[in-house]
Structure 1
Amino acid sequence: MFDWVKKLLGSSNDAEVKKLQKTVNAVEALEDEYKALTDEQLRAKTDEFRTRLQNGETEDDILPEAFAAIREADARVLGMRPYRVQVMGGLVLHQGRIAEMKTGEGKTLVSTLPAYLNALSGKGVHVVTVNDYLARRDSEWMGKVHRFMGLSVGLIVHDLDSAERRAAYACDITYGTNNELGFDYLRDNMVIRQSELVQRGHNFAIVDEVDSILIDEARTPLIISGAGDKSTDLYAKVDAVVRTLKRDVHFEIEEKKKAISLTDEGAQRVEAAFGITNINDAENAELNHHVSCALRANFLMKRDVDYVVKDDQVIIVDEFTGRLMIGRRYSEGLHQAIEAKEHVTIERESRTLATITFQNYFRMYHKLSGMTGTAKTEEDEFQNIYSLDVVQIPTNKPNIRKDLDDMVYKTKKAKFNAVVDAIAQVHANGQPVLVGTVTVETSEMLSAMLQRRGIQHEVLNAKNHAKEAEIVAQAGHWGAVTIATNMAGRGTDILLGGNPEFLARRAMRQDGYDEEIIEAATGHAEDVSDEILAAREKYQSLYKDFKRTTDEAHDRVLQTGGLHIIGTERHESRRIDNQLRGRAGRQGDPGSTQFFISLEDDLMRLFGGDRIMPMVERLGLKDDEPLQAGMLTKQIESAQKRIEGRNFEIRKHVLEYDNVMNRQREIIYGQRRRVLMGENVRDNIIGMAYKLIDAALSRHCASDDGTDWDIPQLTNYLENLCIHHGKIAELEDVVRSGDRDALAQALKDDAKAFYEERETALAEIGLDMREVERVVLLRAVDVRWMDHIDAMDRLRDGIGFRAYSGKNPVTEYQIEAGYMFDELNHLIREDTVRRMYQLRIERTPERVQAAVRPVDGKPIVPGNGQPRQPKRVKPSERVGRNDPCPCGSGLKYKNCCGKDKETRE
């Protein structure tokens, strides 16, 4: 009934598309007018649009003309004029929504339209991709168009210094990866000087593969860490004990929840091994945590599925793309537990200095948009968490791909035999086959089976990702068989008949060209050497030759039915399955897809078996007989929907915790940024001293009549903090009177006078008191914030136990976190005031120097726990005026030792 009504009235998406058509028509109506412009006239449109925006017009007012201008530039520079559906996709992105566009529909070209329009304001546009290769490719390729139109284009990739990053962010349009943008944000909130900042705000982001970044990696925290000081010995000791434990005797696993826990017998076994009476006692919390990590490492985390071992390292495999996540580590000791399991070098646990999740990073943008081939199934999550709608953009040509019903077998063995038979059958006709696997282990097993059958093939998984784009690009040529783990290779089109670009690259490699020269020759950079120009001519010649060959092969492959996709297992998420399917049938090409499933697959065993197994038993099927029915496919999709719903609820629940920390981060970073940008903190520091005096009086002089006042404690605290020594003794009459208000005022007056004396003393030796204040306050914030992150992690680890007493853990977490945040602010005030008031001013015959350190001589910067030793500067070493002073004061050279030197010179 509902489907019938939907067909009659049309879907809400149809209505959205219809609305967009009007604006697309307006853009297309300007095509002839803009075609008639010279290059100079077309380029001049950029200045015209900027002027109109400055005069009060909005981006929406100039949208049809701006889109028409950049569309014409695309045609002139790239030889590609965006189709109507691509213009429509650009409109959706400009509106701050998600454009779902199928594979091969030209999403990269689509991004030029909203990027150009939104860059005209000068506030910056970030185009975000998943890896350095795509960021570099798009910045060169699409960057040619933007530069033609007079806009500046920057690139943020891994190996850039601060100056290069600052220059890239200052551009009108900046291409970069989600990781680099997030890390730059964190680093910006750790710098001491405004000149060290690299980012300039978060105006508008266009996120490519938005589902991967905002959902699959949403909970992945970006962490900047420093070395910890704990020994790693305990990991190996615990691993040796845990290895002896047996499932269902010493521990239990809840596979659906991916949870593992000790039984009573298991706890007793561990207690006996370590000579303790109760592993759940508070004093054994660290050991308990190590045991939990070792259990997960040994019995939940699988080698070649969750991680690989390479070069004495444990490297995480991305669950959704199959790529190696170089440099990423599991947190909270799990990575070390896996290292102990695999007998590789156990790295010390690091200490978190700053952290943020992609969820919270991308929610900072004033306007956020994204594009992907698969987003509609996750629309509820996009709307709930990011306030992003999803609009499905029609394909440029009708999709004629055939999605066949699933083939279901009773056992995995029967399933994989059937997969190899199907590959052999399709391969015999010359039809290219792409086989999608969920794990590295499965891809290698299938590869061995194909080798035994004498079928040539390529394998793409986390162990062989270096030539990822090249392998995927060639998956469409005649007779190709390609095994790919998950959706490795997103961002690269599979062209039927083969990809001439990658064939030309391979030929250049065989001719002895260096990899860097090949990259430059196939790139789009304009300012290049003669050597690269010569290599580019060679590449273009090879490309033309191969293009003729692949065009002929294209027609031949079409006759076989196009690319055939075989999925060896259904993923928990329909979206990942759809990504695999989407590799076939691009731009109206024929293609087909089919999934092979066994009742022993995790998805079926855990979530669908109870419904499907009775059906199979009634039919009396043998192991090698497939069950193929549309109803069965619907049952499988129903299981996937349940898992998706559960995973969404888990992410949403986790976000409730994350939001607490995020609000605190925003407050701390906001205050920090105001100080960094030059806010005068003098009055704030004196105000901090006043608050600390009030808090001390409340603590040590609680009564209103002077009884029970603890004057020795008050004296000890305040005279080592912010008042003159002996001051409270001078106020004996006030103390005797029991007048707390009068005592408070007298102490505050003394604190202010004491601070003014500090200012005078520093001014006499030519130091900038305002800069000293800024450095001291920022360092106090950084050190205490680092401690606070650790404390919040510990709170979160244990808060779940509150549920046993009938309390809501999230509410309890919010309450406790509030108390801890108050304590954080108190400690920042205390550290800042103590360090400013207790500054040690040293005078020497050669120069006068202020060492910004507390009276006990501990460093005010996070380091190795030892006071920083002054660096001896050789006469040949040139210290810049704005560089940190070599003496270790934390001040700029010109405001410290250099000031005296400059005065003498």
Structure 2
Amino acid sequence: MLGAVARKLFGSANERRIRSYQPRVKAINALEPEVAALSDEALKARTADFKKQLAEGKTLDDILEPAFATVREAAKRVLGQRHFDVQLIGGMILHEGKIAEMKTGEGKTLVATAPVYLNALAGRGVHVVTVNDYLAKRDAEWMGKVYGFLGLSTGIIVHGLDDAERKAAYECDVTYATNNELGFDYLRDNMKYRPEDMVQRDHVFAIVDEVDSILVDEARTPLIISGPLDDRSEFYNTIDSYIPALDKSDYEVDEKQRTVTLTEAGMEKLEQRLRTAGELKGESLYDVENVSVVHHVNQALRAHKLFQRDKDYIVRNGEVVIIDEFTGRMMPGRRYSEGLHQALEAKEHVAIQPENQTLASITFQNYFRMYDKLAGMTGTALTEADEFMDIYGLEVLEVPTNKPLARIDDHDEVYRSQVEKYRAIITLIEDCKKRGQPVLVGTTSIEKSEQLADMLREAGWEAHDFSDPNAFAALYSGDDGATKKKVFAILNARYHEQEAFIVSQAGVPGAVTIATNMAGRGTDIQLGGNADMRIRQEIADLDGDERDKSPQAAQIREQVSRLKDKALAAGGLFVLGTERHESRRIDNQLRGRSGRQGDPGHSKFFLSLEDDLMRIFGSDRLEGMLTKLGLKENEAIVHPWINKALEKAQQKVEARNFDIRKNLLKYDDVMNDQRKVIFEQRLDLMRDEHVEDTVGDMRHQVIDDLVGKHIPENAYPEQWDVDGLHEAVNHVLTLDLPVRDWAKEEGIADEEVKERIKRAADEWMAAKVAKWGPDVMRYVEKSVLLQSLDHLWREHLVMLEHLRQVVGLRGYAQRDPLNEYKAEGFALFEGMVASLREAVTAQLMRVEIVPPSAEESQLPYMEAHHVDPTTGEDELASQSLSATATLASGNTAVVEAAARDPKNPATWGKVGRNELCPCGSGKKYKHCHGQYA
């Protein structure tokens, strides 16, 4: 109660923080007349003046007011838009490295220009991060006009650019890019062999648009670059040959959990066989060095004991093809990961395809935490404020709207069944249509969108193809055209550019638009439609200035104005939610589509007891209670208590999801610490012109380890393992030294033996330098060092992934899996460093110089992966990131779309399953030529 009184007297903490920005806003406003009086040249000249002030010792905060006033004036002249006071506040929040929550339609894209300009003056580059290529291009072209007017350069990073284009874009003062492209460029840069080939600069300042989507939703799965492993068919076949020899007492199967584990008897039996085959390192199968072997043994067990031929998979044309457990259909092209598909291939004795190996990976959390300063903007962040603070150290501030919010948010309507719910939804859509009120229907999945679309079709509605601007113009151009025809648009967040246009016109009177949560995000829904987007679409044959000046453009603007009046009279945009999402934030995103810039609007959610979220908090009891209360068919219950109960259920789910993400991040932090060490070391090695000292230190450390292993400390010469040392020196250093004779010398000690071996090894390397020349040897040393480091790091990543999958079982022994992972991960890392020293030394002692070929400097074939956490689908569909055109096996080429002949499949090469089929059918490849006949 005291808190409520204090809030009334002094305002909330957020309101007090917002008030603290008002003096600076007044200072910027006071500068407006002075800045407005400047000529274009004088306004541009302020950029050079600001840079000079910074060079003389002023800070960015010192020049904030004049810089913001300059951007505001430039936007007025170039875009015809003036920053509102609340937009200046949003810009200051971003400049301070915080998250600005601003309602939809408040102009976040324009807000970013002020802090971006201010920070770009430092000359170190500013990154503006968007959720898709379309928004990156749109915002860069749109806001780039302001930066260009003020003398700053703007770059865009989207898929399909080569390294030279990427490097040029990163060198710009302002760079617009998607989160995926930024992450993959960072990973690829750390696989290059020369510093000049790297494309990114420092990570100084980034503003993340739709920050909740990128740093929360998409951060649940890491970015992965993978490539094919060497052929390991023998290894899989060896492991497979042991499984049939096991009897039922050697393993335990849990069909419900779909798990199978070895018993102690089974472990001992396998240990013995693996030791005999030479596949076992150390004493036990469960030594940390054998984590990869254990993983593949478990996969082979699963393949034999859990997966049944003709039920879970079939063998067709010498390939193992997965059968979808829900539909019973074959899924050609899909493969189980982590070696399971190879285990099935070994079981069925068909050709074993190479397993894909993780070459590099990073989570968005760890990528964006590299920036010196990070900021974000979105319409919905407060519900995730704890996560932003805990993981990124980002504070969330809510910026007030420019005009008071006029949207009406109704209480939820709860029905007993989904059939009743959808019936009510269609009735409301019909009612809105009659009144000419535009409707945006939000669904939680593509499947639910299609389900509602089918019901509308049954009710006499027609799904319209809006990809053709002429079709849209014909339907909606008349003032009452939209209200007469019963048509709807359906979007599913797959075709961003097309969907941005459809969403922009969702405010036309009588328009009905069905969209999944992410469809068309980043695009405002303006009542009456978006005139600018219609002009660009409908008068595409003219250039920008000619388009705006044409009579047709004037007609469109006049028409949109009339349609807006109709939409306002009908009550504005009606947002209709078909069910509650497990996160309140997603529901708020949908609601926020309505009521932009003080417009009227309406929102309502329709629920049923059969919805996922309703089942979570006990629909059985609720259904019984509603039946007793006499709730009849097609009747709904509407009560604020239902809303509160739902909100609590959502909070519980949000807290659980946050814990999952936090736990995953703890594991990834272990690898991230190691990744930073390796990447920094790698960069230092690339920048060093001479690495002979590093290589020499490695060689001496290897000799110290060899001698220490075979000559125990304070041992007598007769206790030395002289034969073992002689063999080890010969194997690693290729030197045949008289170690046996040295051991017979009077008073010889291990230190003397070390020095003699080091001297011999140094002389051997000096002879190579004399033979081939110092420049050649320096190049060879660096190449061997970097390639060995890359190879061992990739193997280490696989070991860590396998360790992570099995370490959870330690919890049964009352040991913390995370601590176990940290300890064993560190042991594996130390082992990798020791292996690196030995591998580099052994290779350089054996190396013979051959003329370098062009192929040696190329990166390996690489594929990009980022799994959509909501659908489990790889949104990048094995998108090629490679500098080369073929796989290591040489049989799968990646061909540019322009080089493909639609009539000749032989020219298509590797086609992504979710790409449009090259034959021109308009279907996805997996639904066309990519499926079995």
> What TM-score bracket applies, with the shorter chain setting the length?
0.7 to 0.9
> Which of 276, 285, 290 is the matching residue for 2:298?
285
The offset of 1:331, in angstroms, is 5.8
Distance of 2:306 and 2:549 partners within structure 1: 52
* Aligned counterpart, 1:389: 395
Indicate conservation of the 8 Å contact 1:293/1:333, yes or no: no
> Does the CA contact (< 8 Å) of 2:192 and 2:859 recur in 1?
no
Is residue 355 from structure 1 mapped to residue 366 from structure 2 by the alignment?
no
2:608 aligns with 598
Give the letter for the 1:223 counterpart: I
- Three-state SS of the structure 1 residue aligned to 2:733 is coil
Where 1:833 maps in the other structure, the secondary structure is: helix
Q: How does 1:384-783 map to 2 (within 5 A)?
A: 384-454=390-460, 455-461=486-492, 467-508=498-539, 513=541, 521=543, 536-537=546-547, 541-609=551-619, 612-613=622-623, 615-678=625-688, 680-704=690-714, 705-722=716-733, 724-726=735-737, 728-729=739-740, 731-733=742-744, 737=747, 739-763=749-773, 767-783=775-791
| Alpha-carbon separation, structure 1, partners of 2:324 and 2:503 | 21
1:378 to 374, 378, 384: 384
Q: Distance in 1 between matches of 2:729 and 2:102?
A: 65
Q: Equivalent pairs: percent with the same residue? A: 46
The C-alpha deviation readout for 1:407-454, integer Å capped at 9, x for no partner, is: 001111111111111111121111001101112222112112212222
Q: Structure 2 counterpart of 1:393, which letter?
A: V
Letter in 2 for 1:438: T
Q: Deviations over 1:835-861 (max 9, x none)?
A: 22221146xxxxxx58999xxxx9999
Classify 1:543/1:492 alpha carbon distance in 2 versus 1 (closer, same or farther; 3 Å): farther
Given the superposition, is the C-alpha separation of residues 34 and 378 from structure 1 closer, same or farther in structure 2, using an over 3 Å criterion?
A: same
1:281, CA displacement in angstroms? 8.8
In structure 2, relative to structure 1, the CA distance for the partners of 1:153 and 1:417 (3 Å cut) is: same
SS at match of 2:525: coil
Cα–Cα, structure 1 residues 567 and 368, in superposed 2: closer, same or farther, change >3 Å?
same
Contact 1:457 1:483 in 2 (8 A): yes
Is 1:211 matched with 2:181? no
The answer for the alignment partner of 1:809 in structure 2 is 817
Q: Give the C-alpha shift of residue 718 in structure 1.
A: 2.0
Q: Secondary structure at the match of 1:205?
A: strand
Instruction: Tell whether the 8 Å contact from 1:504 to 1:539 is kept in structure 2 after alignment.
Output: no
Whether the aligned pair in 2 keeps the contact of 1:497 and 1:555 (CA below 8 Å) is yes
User: Residues 496 and 463 of structure 1: is their aligned pair in 2 closer, same or farther, counting only changes over 3 Å?
Assistant: same
Q: 1:865 to 1:346 in 2, by over 3 A?
A: closer
Q: What is the distance in 1 between the residues matched to 2:325 and 2:889?
A: 45
- 1:703 deviates by 4.3
CA contact (8 A) 2:717 2:743 kept: no
Please list, as runs of the form range in 1=range in 2, the aligned pairs for 1:789-828 lying within 5 A after superposition. Answer: 789-828=797-836
1:744 CA drift (Å):
1.7
- 2:123 counterpart SS class: coil
Q: Decide whether the 8 Å contact of 2:734 with 2:846 is kept in 1.
A: no
Q: What letter matches 2:752 in structure 1?
A: A
Give 1:620 shift.
3.0
Alpha-carbon offset, residue 333 of structure 1: 6.8
* TM-score, normalised via structure 2 length: 0.78
Give the letter for the 2:630 counterpart.
G
1:69 aligns with 70
Q: How does 1:116-135 map to 2 (within 5 A)?
A: 116-135=117-136
Aligned-partner residue type, residue 405 of structure 1:
H
Change (3 A) 1:24 1:784: same
1:173 and 2:174 matched: yes
Which residue of 1 is the match for residue 894 of structure 2? none
Moved more, 5-14 or 789-798: 5-14
Question: How big is the shift at 1:761?
Answer: 1.8
SS of the counterpart of 1:840?
coil
Q: Supply the distance in 1 between the matched residues of 2:669 and 2:567 (Cα, whole angstroms).
A: 52
Cα 1:369–1:861 change in 2 (3 A) is closer
Aligned counterparts of 1:346 and 1:562: Cα–Cα separation in 2:
60
Name 1:58's counterpart in structure 2: 59
Q: 1:725, 1:17 → 2: CA distance?
A: 77
Amino acid at match of 2:156: L
CA contact (8 A) 2:717 2:744 kept: no
CA contact (8 A) 2:535 2:548 kept: no
Contact persistence 2:406–2:600 (CA under 8 A)? yes
Matched residue type, 1:70: V
* Pair 337,852 (structure 1): closer, same or farther in 2 beyond 3 Å: closer
Contact 2:312 2:324 in 1 (8 A): no
Helix, strand or coil at the partner of 2:370: coil
Letter in 1 for 2:522: G
Is the Cα–Cα contact under 8 Å of residues 294 and 337 in structure 1 kept in the other structure?
no
**1:850-888 Cα distance to aligned partner (Å, 9 max, x none):** 8999xxxx99996899999xxxxxxxxxxxxxxxxxxxx
Q: CA deviation at 1:141?
A: 1.1
| Stretches of structure 2 lacking an aligned partner (at least 5 in a row) | 241-252, 262-292, 314-321, 346-350, 461-485, 862-885, 891-933
Quote the Cα distance in structure 1 between the aligned partners of 2:7 and 2:330: 53
Inter-CA distance 860–41: structure 2 relative to 1 (3 Å threshold):
closer
- Counterparts of 1:132 and 1:168, CA distance in 2: 14
Verify the 8 A CA contact 2:133 2:178 in the aligned structure 1: yes
C-alpha separation in 2, matches of 1:859 and 1:557: 61
Give the whole-Å Cα distance in 1 for the aligned partners of 2:887 and 2:593.
54
**1:760/1:250 Cα in 2 relative to 1: closer, same or farther (>3 Å)?**
closer
Report the 3-state secondary structure (helix = DSSP H, G, I; strand = E; otherwise coil) of the residue aligned with 2:506: helix
Once the two structures are superposed, residues 677-717 of structure 1 have per-residue CA deviations (whole angstroms, 9 ceiling, x without a partner) of 22632111111111111111222212422343222222222
- Kindly tell me: are residues 759 and 730 of structure 1, through their superposed partners in 2, closer, same or farther at Cα, counting changes over 3 Å? farther
Amino acid at match of 1:449: M
Deviation at 1:367, TM superposition (A): 0.5
Deviation at 1:538, TM superposition (A): 7.3
Distance in 2 between the 1:223 and 1:792 partners? 14
Q: CA deviation at 1:334?
A: 9.1
Q: Deviations over 1:704-756 (max 9, x none)?
A: 2234322222222223333743253563445x645112212222233333322
Q: Supply the AA of the counterpart residue of 1:635.
A: A
Structure 1 852/52 Cα, relative in aligned 2: closer, same or farther at 3 Å?
closer
More displaced 10-residue stretch of structure 1: 472-481 or 281-290: 281-290
**For residues 304 and 30 of structure 2, what CA distance do their matches in structure 1 show?**
68
Q: Structure 1: how far apart are the matches of 2:332 and 2:30?
A: 62
Q: Cα distance 1:471–1:231, how it changes in 2: closer, same or farther (>3 A)?
A: farther
Q: Does the CA-based 8 Å contact 1:701-1:740 persist in structure 2?
A: yes
Amino acid at match of 1:396: N
Give the 3 Å change call, closer, same or farther, for CA 463–186 of structure 1 in structure 2: closer
TM-score, normalised by the number of residues in structure 1: 0.80
RMSD between superposed Cα atoms in Å = 3.6
Please give the alpha-carbon distance, in whole angstroms, between the structure 2 residues aligned to 1:493 and 1:74.
19
Q: Aligned partners of 1:458, 1:773: CA distance in 2, in Å?
A: 61
**Superposition deviation, residue 616 in structure 1:** 2.5
In 2: Cα distance, 1:119 partner to 1:376 partner: 28
- 2:143 paired residue number: 142
Quote the offset at 1:303 in angstroms: 13
CA contact 1:432–1:479 (8 Å) conserved in 2: yes
Residue of structure 1 equivalent to 2:29: 28
Aligned pairs for 1:78-93 (under 5 A) are 78-93=79-94
Letter paired with 2:647: E
Structure 2 equivalent of residue 830 of structure 1: 838
For 1:737 and 1:47, how far apart are their aligned partners in 2? 75
CA–CA distance in 2 between the matches of 1:29 and 1:149?
21
